[in-house]
Amino acid sequence: MDIRTFSNLLRGHNLGLFSVREAEVLFPAQATPLMLLQLHQWRRKGLIKRVKRGLYELAYPDQIVLPDFYVANKLYEPSYVSLETALSHYQLLPETAAQVTSVTSKATRRFKNSHGLFTYFSVRPRAFAGYTLIRLQGRTVRIAEPEKAVVDRLYMSLRRGEDWRIVCDRWDCGRIKKMNKNKLASYADLSGTSGAKIKELIHVILR
């Protein structure tokens, strides 16, 4: 297997980032030890780059420009973009988030690589919901609906013991007041024992 064939196949499947498993699926005749050796050699030559252990991106013939939201989805699965990043995307916050923040049903994690800083906040599996699919630069990415991004951030503030007034101080409350109130309530209910408090805070914000 040569890098040109490998690159063309990955690009044909629109895989900007790929795992060892995905490489094996594309090349089923390649045994796992040989695949790992080949990836190691290509990485040493600068033909591919490692984003994290077991996840790579092409650098041959040139590096593909990938949206940060797509990188965030692939870097730690399952996850969806939420919290400050989603709030900023929906113009509920005035500034662009310095890092990409996401929600996951797995453990809280943080990754730093050439694409930037990526933070993942853990929620109960039942609350891993309320996200939608959007297209960015030809990639499909998972991002929280506006209502879920608000609930996720309030939930995180309660978990961390933050002052919710400081958290919400920069939010565009005018846009929040136009949100679907039933969605806000139903997503709050997914948060378990925190649901009642989240609904109470939302009620205060919407006054």
pLDDT at 164: 87
The span from the CA of 107 to the CA of 120, in Å, is 8
Token code pair at residue 206: 């919407």
pLDDT tens for each residue of 55-82: 999 999 998 899 999 999 999 999 999 9
Q: Which of 49-53, 144-148, 162-166 has the lowest mean pLDDT?
A: 162-166
The mean pLDDT of 183-188, rounded to a whole number, is 97
Give the neighbor-by-neighbor strand order of the sheet with 79-81.
Answer: 109-113, 116-122, 100-104, 79-81, 139-144, 131-136
pLDDT at 96 over 90: no
Q: Which residue shows structure tokens 């608000």? A: 150
Which residue in 62, 68, 1, 67 sits closest to 35, CA to CA? Answer: 1
Token code pair at residue 12: 């044909």
Q: Which of 1-5, 176-180, 197-201 has the lowest mean pLDDT?
A: 1-5
DSSP characters over 39-93:
HHHHHHTTSEEEEETTEEEE-SSSPPP--HHHHHHHHSSSEEE-HHHHHHHTTSS
Which residue in 8, 122, 136 sits closest to 69, CA to CA? Answer: 136
